Chain A
Amino acid sequence: MLAVVVVFAIVLPFALNAAQLATATFVVIAAIGATGLNVVTGYAGQISLGHAAFLGVGAYTGAVLGADHGVTAFIWIPAAGVVAALLGAVVGPVALRLRGLYLAIVTLGLIFIAQHVFFNLDGLTGGPQGRAFPAVQLASFDFSPGQVLDLGGITIDSSGLYYFLGLILLAAATAFAWNLRRTRSGRAMVALREREAAAAVMGINVGRLKVTAFVVSSAMAGVSGALYGSYLSFAQPDQWSLLLSIQFIAAIIVGGLGTTAGPVLGCAVVFALPSLLKQLPFLPEEGSGGLSAGDLTSITYGLLIVAFLTLEPRGLVGIANRLRRTGNGSDVGSSVTPKLTVTTPEEAHP
């Protein structure tokens, strides 16, 4: 199964046209960040609306180091993760004091504060006009648009290079999250999600665990943001908005909260949506008023969140498992995806 997925992911770019490849690249890059959000929200059950702020911090770290100081991408990509993680470690203790929903509100505040800072730190972020982001340069690999890598007859263009770099980092992030889930910390996070007080009584240091989850999540968001900015090559501060955070939330819910494959599947749906919806025939031309593709995509994100949570809280992974079970007649998928619920509706409302 894993081998099939790996081969599919490697062969995929060669089967796509330029626009489709660009979408696939965004999906892969976003999936790194979604994997991070899945750790804090899916595993540890803490709602964070501040994910976009960490992506932004990662992106600007990459830009400042890579473009303004000429540091190599071998350093600025990891550094983006480290700086975002540090910010997570600073915000974490505030979150540590708060339970459940207060965290959602504090991270909502974080988004607006971060946007304010991004808009006003002209020297680093270019202010409201935005700034250019550096293309990745890894040793002899040049990721700038227009550059083509020739591997004995197989050519890979700039989008393809970003795709493969993103894929490698995504594989690393996914493997990390998958392993984390099985460690002591990972199981403690699930206990925290299911019942905070019970987890604390069992000897889990709830505060430290929340900060750990938050830091891991921020680090992945930072790396994702650095690549995202670099691939966009230009971004304004309002790129890192509440809407972006909600896209990530939609992605992990659609994919399946707390599952390993969920963030990737979810991103494939959520981050491919804008380009799919743009091709709908009934939409008016861009800028001519009426229903825009942007509005339609935001409406769809919102409805996807509502629909999946009410109809299939286990997401696409849950659907896949169910299909597999009915197909084989055996319970192969049961090792994955604990359901979120503690009480069933019948128990609560007899």
Chain B
Amino acid sequence: MNKKQSLFHIAKRDTLPWYKSFAIRGCAILLALVVCAVVTMLLTGENPVNIFATIFKGAFGSARKSWVTFQNLAVLLGISLAVTPAFKMRFWNIGAEGQVLIGCLATAACMICLADKLPNAVLILVSLAAALAAGALWGFLPAFFKAKWNTNETLFTLMMNYIATQLAAFFIIVWEVPKGAGKIGIINQGTEAGWLPVVGGQKYLLVILVVAVLTVFMYIYLNYSKHGYEIAVVGESQRTASYAGIKVERVIVRTMVLSGAVCGLMGLLLTAGTDHTLTTTIVGGRGFTAVMVSWMAKFNPIIMIFTSLLLVVLGRGASEISSTFGLNQSFSDILTGIILFFIIGSEFFITYQVSLRKSGKKEA
């Protein structure tokens, strides 16, 4: 054989024991942190130890900062949990951004239009129902078309994001306070109507508790329920699923409605729980980051806590670095990108095994 052979031989591995695959991921994260430190060093001229100290200070430097970090963690984790069932089904929903935003919009609509017509408890329940329904609708549409006519869901959900954004922009101008300001500001600041109750004296505690419950629920739902099993089978092979008597179309629609509804719930928590306002950027790209969080954790809700923690701490730390050194806030996006690239790349070494070819001739 005269043909040139590549230097490496690549073969699929058997499933690695968990400690080995974790060791590979750990190495990837370490390498990524080193690269992040080098990049930061080149841009700021600070030494790496100080850089990591600044990152840590930015995330946990004071009680207030820690609370914000945990609130960010809760929101990101919540959205990641929401997209997970669909991903496990290999339904590439990148529309979480829009599904959360439409939940925010529904909540804001209830808070603004019904504030003086209903007692507070009823108002919150109505907002909850509206947010869940809006999110579910945004999840239902792409799923319905996917199930019926195999419409590409990635592109469908992507378009739904912008439809939600423009709807929000429309209503922001309809409800703007004061007229001509182009924004809503804090809704019901005087009466606090429709605001979620503050638990334990901490503004962010409720969100954290809700997401903690959601994490446990999602873990059980995916691993120990009939629905979860059906999702896993559909994700592995749709043909096997329909052969086994699973109604694939129903599973797709049901799972996406659930996904969308949880996104809607996160929208409620954002608008009625912490931010008390509606802007077109209230979700801030977390719908997209959630996709990566969920994927990095291999769709396991418990591991997702750590992957989202990693990204949130890094993000908060990077914004501390950028304010300390007078740099642009987008610095955290660069660091996030670097970490993601390393983790995405490391998956290869978990699934495949690379060995050097000893000699082309002998092997042939």
Q: Is B truly associated with A?
A: no
Interface, chain B (partner A; CB < 8 A): none
